[in-house]
Structure 1
């Protein structure tokens, strides 16, 4: 059997791992069942196998059938539980075609789940105003038989682009709940910290140019390693930065830093030492400055557990980090002034871009482990509590700084106020009353 699989992969130019796939296994099981029905009578494989055209047509028909089942399930979820829909777009690099995907998030049996609803092409040649974006969103949902009325209680998660923010607050149309993706906000901060566009409010000053130069030098080195076949001489291949991938500049800098001794020896042997960015301590200083952004991103991008209550503490940690002085161990570097200036740039960008919603603050309060709101001053604690009181439509409960608790009726009202987030009331009640040590209380990964 092994020899047959090897020959199959060789003849069809397939990867060897194809034999480990569930689809391949299902196909073999099906063939064995057919052979059993024919009681071992020989017949040509070509008579059994369908043509590519038949397979293509069949896939389309099966997709339509599965879509009908999926839509019924989605409609039930929209009717019976809190839901978030994340709307995320990207551009295919070769044809510059824009695509938008819709993913639904909900909680079932106390487990956060997500499912891809659809992926649709966005016509970049048409108007991209807020109204056009909103029309596109609901036309795409209408194409799979989900109306705008059925999504009235849905909370949408999008990037923080001005068009996206305005799209859900178009004048003379229903205002819809929308939350900015926290990971996208972090990525926007990193992008703007090295922004050299002349009209940008965060334009990189000449004093901070060494940071931008370092990143460009690392990108050039990674490209050169691939083109000159140097990667095969390294213990691991260096990581190239990709604009659409979160924290990719940091990943690239970390990979160069780890490979620095190997790269130094190879380039020195080729008399190309000038290609090596550095010094290495300059790399390390920039990495230490950016690392908390990746830590926060990894924690907040989880799709298996709620994270909305973690947005505020991580944003506070990052603001604190970019406000602290650069370590004295890097003071001897010629680029020390550039590091200080770059840190100020990061602080400026973070202060402007890391904006938390009232919903984030309420989620912190509703998380048992953080209900003391100790990360906020006393005056702001009171404001957050007042906001939660408005959400649950009551002012009858009181709070003490030592222990904050809510009666059942108030918790139920808060659960209703948060109906557009993916958790059931029973889940919320269990987490609040019976499992106070849990750090996850409600909502979806934001």
Structure 2
């Protein structure tokens, strides 16, 4: 067989010099350009054929796109490549003055992987030509935000049409640039019984506008309008702090004061010196000395010799006073030893170990309250009265109290009772919780009767046969074994009975609660279960017949 007739020459070629003269005795692979010794008079084409069959470039492989799409087949980088990227990351942080975590996070990982994938497909490219301009990124963010808003509109409208929703909002000012901001967050329960929070906006306040009620209200409505839910403005429940301009802006709608904010304000006011305080100067001196001590340790090498970091107190940060005093109190002996070594024990002036311990214990209860009430994934409305009463009891005088603590308690209790607002929704939420339904924390029997009356009115609605829906949240009662599972039985009542037993809730207690709530006779025939479902807490959909009309409530 001649050289030209052999099929191997479809993949191999002869070698020529610069003047196009054939160099005898050699052949080259057209795919990988590897050169082989070849002499047709001494050997055949078997060696060339063998290479053609094993050449990597001739293998039937998947496309690069298919390969890159398989995340499980990503290669482990070589050590020298990783060292190169580390060096470039260091240069990025230093040259562009970026934080160390600039090369971390899901967003950055996706960007870096995208750059690698482009390089694998296109080869070496000019990254300046590839990366977008900051202005382009800015426009892209706005487009992406609008896309997400449009996708959320149907969901938000569907959830709010049943009258189920709340808004938390706040305003604050940046300490450095003195720029003010408004944040509006929507809270609702979705069809999977999950408590959802959506930040509708965190926007810079127009500096040309005064922060008055007449300007704040339109700003809130504008935030709702971006998501097509401004029509629900008057139907939502708003939770805010007690700042006068926000309270005035929401005077025509249902507004609750944030209990955690109130506790923080009560403490701040309590520690604020006044002429009536017998021990005000001593308290102020102790707090100032504690702050100075923390600052001194942070500015020297002493902090590194402590087991735990000393924390400073910041007025705008909840519980930071407790955190600071606790960090000192728990290491008081170690701190004293370090200062004695330097002959600076006088820095503990106004800081008595026993007094510090008393203050930490005094503030601990407030920290527990704010932690319990600031939860965003579980209902907390029913806990407001509970923690109000716990704090009141905590502030009662005790024979073990020092004179300073006794004085603080008296002042704090007076401020608490003046600032704390108990709304009817707090009482209703408390009644709906299985462990709190007896309402023993409410001493006034007329208030308890009012709650029962209000619940019947809400459930029964305005007229016979009218269909009403009322969302009643009862969370955390014996849920150690998990939430109620979706209906999986032909008998809703039997399914519910089994589920209640599984999560340690008494079926008889549940029946009694529902019949009492509805003002019906205590018999199971008075109502029936149509669905049992839930993903967060004990949430049950109950339906019952009343005057010929079907009523329903999520309990």
TM-score by length of 2: 0.65
Whether the aligned pair in 1 keeps the contact of 2:181 and 2:204 (CA below 8 Å) is yes
Which of the numbers 405, 410, 422 marks the counterpart of 1:344? 410
d(CA) in 2 for partners of 1:425, 1:161 = 41
d(CA) in 1 for partners of 2:331, 2:221 = 49
d(CA) in 1 for partners of 2:182, 2:153 = 19
- Per-residue deviation at 1:323? 0.9
1:95 aligned onto 2:172: no
d(CA) in 2 for partners of 1:4, 1:76 = 52
1:69 aligned onto 2:143: no
Deviations 1:342-361 (A, max 9, x none): 11111111221222211101
d(CA) in 2 for partners of 1:394, 1:117 = 32
- Per-residue deviation at 1:70? 3.8
d(CA) in 2 for partners of 1:72, 1:262 = 60
Which of the numbers 246, 266, 290 marks the counterpart of 1:218? 290
Alignment of 1:319-398 (within 5 A): 319-325=392-398, 327=400, 336-377=402-443, 379=445, 380-392=447-459
d(CA) in 1 for partners of 2:391, 2:137 = 52
1:45 aligned onto 2:127: yes
**1:5 matched to which residue of 2?**
85
**1:282 matched to which residue of 2?**
355
**Greater relative CO, 1 or 2 (CA 8 Å, sep 6+):** 1
Which of the numbers 372, 379, 386 marks the counterpart of 1:299? 372
- Per-residue deviation at 1:179? 1.1
Structure number having the greater strand percentage: 2
d(CA) in 2 for partners of 1:323, 1:430 = 35
**1:237 matched to which residue of 2?**
309
d(CA) in 1 for partners of 2:453, 2:207 = 44
Deviations 1:241-267 (A, max 9, x none): 111111111111111112322221222
1:260 aligned onto 2:332: yes
d(CA) in 2 for partners of 1:16, 1:394 = 59
1:405 aligned onto 2:513: yes
d(CA) in 2 for partners of 1:67, 1:403 = 42
SS in 1 for 2:295: helix
d(CA) in 2 for partners of 1:433, 1:126 = 47
TM-score by length of 1: 0.80
d(CA) in 1 for partners of 2:533, 2:276 = 50
Deviations 1:215-235 (A, max 9, x none): 222122222222345323332
- Per-residue deviation at 1:185? 1.0
Deviations 1:357-378 (A, max 9, x none): 1110110101112111122236
Whether the aligned pair in 1 keeps the contact of 2:290 and 2:351 (CA below 8 Å) is no
d(CA) in 1 for partners of 2:218, 2:458 = 29
Which segment is superposed worse, 385-394 or 243-252? Answer: 385-394
d(CA) in 2 for partners of 1:269, 1:255 = 20
SS in 2 for 1:285: helix
Aligned residues: 401
**2:265 matched to which residue of 1?**
188
Cα distance, 1:222–1:146 mapped onto 2, change above 3 Å: farther
Unaligned 5+ runs, structure 1:
170-174, 329-335, 412-423, 435-440
Structure having the higher Rg: 2
Whether the aligned pair in 2 keeps the contact of 1:6 and 1:16 (CA below 8 Å) is no
Whether the aligned pair in 2 keeps the contact of 1:361 and 1:384 (CA below 8 Å) is yes
Deviations 1:157-189 (A, max 9, x none): 1112233223212xxxxx211111111111111
- Per-residue deviation at 1:17? 4.5
Q: CA RMSD in A?
A: 3.3
- Per-residue deviation at 1:393? 5.2
Cα distance, 1:48–1:208 mapped onto 2, change above 3 Å: same
SS in 1 for 2:161: helix
Unaligned 5+ runs, structure 2:
1-80, 464-508, 520-530, 543-552
SS in 1 for 2:200: strand
d(CA) in 2 for partners of 1:131, 1:248 = 34
**1:172 matched to which residue of 2?**
none
Structure number having the greater helix percentage: 1
d(CA) in 2 for partners of 1:270, 1:442 = 66
